[in-house]
Amino acid sequence: MLKQIHKALASNAQLSLGFASMLMFGIATVTPASADIKIGFQAPLTGPSATDGKSAQIAATMAVEDINAAGGVLGQKIELVTYDDQAKSDQAIFTANKLIGEDGVKLVVNGSYSASGRAAAPVFQKAGVVMISAYGVHPDITRAGDYMFRLVHLGPPQGAATALYVGKTLGIKKISTITMDNDYGQATMDGFLETSAKYGIEVLNKYSYSLKDRQFGSIVASVKRDNPDAVYATGYFFTAGPLVAQLRAAGITVPIIGSQAFDSEKFVEIAGPAAEGTYIMDSFDRDRKDESLQKFFAEFKSRAGYSPEGVAAVTYSAVKLMADGIKRANSADPEKVRDALAATKDFPMLEGNLNGFNSLHEILMPISVNVIKDSKFTPVGVITDLAAFAPPEK
Amino acid sequence: MYYIDLAVTGIGFGCMYAMMSVGLTLVYGLLRILHVAHAAVFALGAYVTVLIANATSSIALGFVASIIVTPLFGMAIYRLLYEPLLKYRPDVPMIASVGLLVLMQDAFRIIFGEQGVTFRRNAFAFTTFNFAGVTVSAVQIAIVITATVVFLGLHIFTTRTRIGIGWRATVSRPQIAASFGIDPIKVRYLSFAIGSALAAAAGGLVALMNNLVDPGIGSVVSYKALAIIVLGGLGSVRGTFIASLVLGLVEAYGTIFIGGWLDRDAIAFLALIVLLMLRPQGFTGPRTA
């Protein structure tokens, strides 16, 4: 039989050419060309949190483009594998399993809210996949295991730093608190309430509202009756805007201190003149004289149509950090990347210098404070007493 | 003063809920359909008010545009979605309605952006008056006045004018009304038009109050309005108004006293459950107009 094939090939030039090219093609497809390194990415692209999801996605895409333009990592390009988790736990788990099973991803950046990160973390930990939570603040995320990292301050340390700032720097004695009753809002407020007594702050009353609320008539009336020296509220810009507007409209003139998620141009737009003088804790210092920050700012604004806020900045840095981890580990193997990330020292993030991670893979980094002046975010202080708001250790 | 402040807040909420929910009860009374997509009508009204106000620098024009455009949308929903499905069981058009609401919410997100839209110049959101220690905002006053005018107007319309009486007749006895020469189709369009116009006005006022319209603005309406019309007595406009006020006050006071462990909606629905157990037919019982 072989003899017959041999004779056929020899006598038919076209057939041999076809056969040879098919062979080459076959070899080429099974030989991996310099394969891309895949980084999984979860973000709420639809649903009520789509605003932050869009910011996170644009930032992550920009980071990947910047990394690839500079030659990639270890000679390979980064490929971002994105899934919409709608900021819901069930979707987070579903997309996590897809990333692990279908896409074979070993390194993930979670650019979504706490509920999502919290649900996805154990799934990734079990599969030995490294996950960096860009801005999800729930404590359970890093407690899921040593493959988990978080790039934003935990809720409770943010709250503790707020208590320090409010008590010592602002000298406030009596405060009314307004909590958004989701993971983020409550965790942050808990940190504040636990440490407020240490700085001589008396909490007159605690109020809470839900993510969907936009009308705070009762809370506003109650705060007016409390007559505090200041008001501290946790929330996102779309609740903060109406809340601050309504507080000021009711004639409450004392300082309002807001949590990190107030930090958005949209907050200023919604609250209008009422936003003036609002303090925002762990706010993104936009004025830092840093070339990569200014470049990021301009590029993001042209792509998104609005200025970047903390969510965008930290997501960008999360992707950059992952690439840096791969580089330092000299491998895309998740175990090695995990160890390289844990050993991070002085990594330049868009928001400032990341000193490093503690044993629970929480960040060690100062907290900046902004105040709204003339409708602009103006830096007004940095809390450097890292011990005062140290995140929990393992 | 504080409790009066809360009462003012509650009445404001109540009037807002009333305007949102009337459309729903009108449609139910007439067609026995739960018009869940009414929330999308409300949201559209809010969006149109803001966008036209920003484009023309006149908030009044925004409202006018919204009250003209939104009823057209409401009537289109009847014509394109409900009319073909009327021959089926009532849950069929209701499911279609739910589907439309979900679709519209995402459509709003895609067309108008996730961050929502705000008034460029909104003096009303920040204007308040102080009456002997009680703070009342300009928008709250507008809501209460509008709701009062509207409901009085509806009452006069349905009891004193020919069209209004014909409308009530169609709702209670469609065949007899038809034999008197009243066109039932026209009555249906009228119901959708009025209900949608009111929802649009409510949407515009809520937009003024919050200075923000985001894609999810209709989501609270979608289930709360249903609860309100049940509490008021399905199909009864007067019942809806009473139920709205009751719910508004319950929320205003409830969120302060039990807001620590119960979410605002939870309080509203807890009250609903209790009230329905005491009076299952709702405040005025299922009536027609």
Tens of pLDDT, residue by residue over A45-81, are 988 788 889 999 999 999 999 999 999 999 999 999 9
| Residue A365, CA distances (Å) to A374, B42, B54 in order | 28, 45, 42
* pLDDT at residue A24 tops 80: no
Per-residue model confidence as pLDDT tens digits over B223-255: 889 889 988 888 788 889 999 999 999 999 988
Distances (CA, A) of A311 to A46, A54, A148, A236, A272: 16, 10, 19, 11, 22
DSSP 8-class letter at A144: T
Residue of A nearest to B118 (CA): A270
Long-range contacts of A79-83 (CB under 8 A, 24+ apart): A79/A36, A79/A37, A79/A38, A79/A39, A80/A38, A80/A39, A80/A41, A80/A319, A81/A38, A81/A39, A81/A40, A81/A41, A81/A105, A82/A41, A82/A42, A82/A43, A82/A45, A82/A57, A83/A40, A83/A41, A83/A42, A83/A43
Q: What are phi and psi of A260, to 5 degrees?
A: -55, -40
Do residues A208 and B266 lie in contact, with contact meaning Cβ atoms separated by under 8 Å? no
With contact defined as beta carbons under 8 Å apart, do A229 and A175 qualify? yes
Mean pLDDT of B173-191: 86
Chain-centroid distance, C-alpha B80: 21
Which range (A25-34, A229-238, A276-285, A376-385) has the least confidence?
A25-34
Mean pLDDT of A368-389: 91
| Res A6: pLDDT | 61
Question: If you average pLDDT over residues A271-280, what whole number do you get?
Answer: 93
Instruction: Give bridge partners of residue A76 from the DSSP assignment.
Output: A73
- The rounded distance, in Å, linking the Cα atoms of B53 and B90 is 38
Q: Is B125 on the interface with A (CB under 8 A)?
A: yes
Is the Cβ–Cβ distance between A214 and B212 less than 8 Å? yes
Q: What pLDDT shows up at residue B125?
A: 66
Strands (E), chain A: 37-43, 78-84, 107-110, 130-133, 148-150, 174-180, 202-209, 230-233, 256-258, 279-281, 345-349, 352-357, 363-364, 367-373, 376-383
Q: B219–A208: do the CB atoms touch at under 8 Å?
A: no
* B135/A224 CB distance under 8 A: yes
B120 to chain A, any CB pair closer than 8 A? The answer is no
Which one is predicted more confidently, A97 or B30?
A97
The answer to whether B240 and B284 have CB atoms below 8 angstroms apart is: no
Q: Is residue B183 part of a domain?
A: yes
Query: Domain A37-153+287-361, what fold?
Result: Rossmann fold (3.40.50)
Residue B176 lies in a domain: yes
Mean pLDDT for A193-216 is 92
Average pLDDT over residues A277-295: 88
User: What integer is the mean pLDDT of A358-371?
Assistant: 93
- Residue B283 falls inside a structural domain: no
Q: Kindly provide the residue ranges of all beta strands, DSSP E only, lying in A220-366, ordered along the sequence.
A: 230-233, 256-258, 279-281, 345-349, 352-357, 363-364
| Structure tokens given for B99 | 């589907």
- pLDDT given at position A15: 64
- The mean pLDDT of chain B is 87
Which stretches of A71-154 are DSSP H helices?
Answer: 89-101, 114-126, 140-143
- Give the pLDDT band of residue A306 (cuts 50, 70, 90): confident
Q: What is the pLDDT of residue B289?
A: 44
Over 60: is that where the pLDDT of A29 sits?
A: no
Question: What pLDDT sits at residue B133?
Answer: 75
Q: How confident is the model at residue A105 (pLDDT cuts 50, 70, 90)?
A: very high
Residues B205 and B246: beta-carbon distance below 8 Å:
no
Find the CB nearest B212 among A212, A219, A238. A238
Spell out the domain ranges in chain A: 37-153+287-361, 156-281+371-389
Please, which residues bridge with residue B137 across strands?
B128
Q: What is the mean pLDDT of residues A360-365?
A: 93
Crossing angle of helices B237-257/B219-232, nearest 10°? 120
Q: Say yes or no for a CB contact (<8 Å) between A212 and B220.
A: yes
pLDDT surpassing 90 at residue A98 = yes
Asked if the model's pLDDT at residue A99 lies above 60, the reply is: yes
Question: What integer is the mean pLDDT of B167-196?
Answer: 86
Residues of A in contact with B253 (CB under 8 A): 218
Q: Which of A368, A374, A370 is nearest to A276 (CA)?
A: A374
The helix (H) or strand (E) run that includes residue B98 is: helix B91-112
Domain count, chain B: 1
Q: Is A109 helix (H, G, I), strand (E, B) or coil?
A: strand
Q: What is the CATH number of domain A156-281+371-389?
A: 3.40.50.2300
Its sign, for the CA torsion B71, B76, B81, B85, is positive
The yes-or-no answer to whether A37-153+287-361 and A156-281+371-389 have a common fold is: yes
- The alpha-carbon gap from B203 to the nearest alpha carbon of chain A, in Å, equals 13
Domain span holding position B71: 18-215
Taking contacts as CB-CB distances below 8 angstroms, the residues of chain A near B263 are 181, 210
d(CA B230, CA B21): 10
pLDDT at residue A25 above 70? no
So what's the ipTM on this one?
0.82
Residue matched to tokens 């004018």 = B161
The predicted model gives B202-217 an average pLDDT of 89
For the ranges A48-62, A248-262, B49-63, B216-230, the lowest mean pLDDT is seen at B216-230
Instruction: Determine the average pLDDT of the residues in B67-76.
Output: 96
Calpha distance B123→A306 (Å, rounded): 24
What 3-state DSSP class applies to A319?
helix
Residue A195 pLDDT > 80, yes or no?
yes
Average pLDDT over residues B83-87: 91
The number of residues in chain A equals 394
Given a contact cutoff of 8 angstroms between Cβ atoms, the answer to whether B170 and B87 are in contact is: no
Angle B2-31/B237-257 helices, nearest 10 degrees?
140
How much is the pLDDT for B283? Answer: 80
Question: Which range has the worst mean pLDDT, A279-283, B43-47, B256-260?
Answer: B256-260
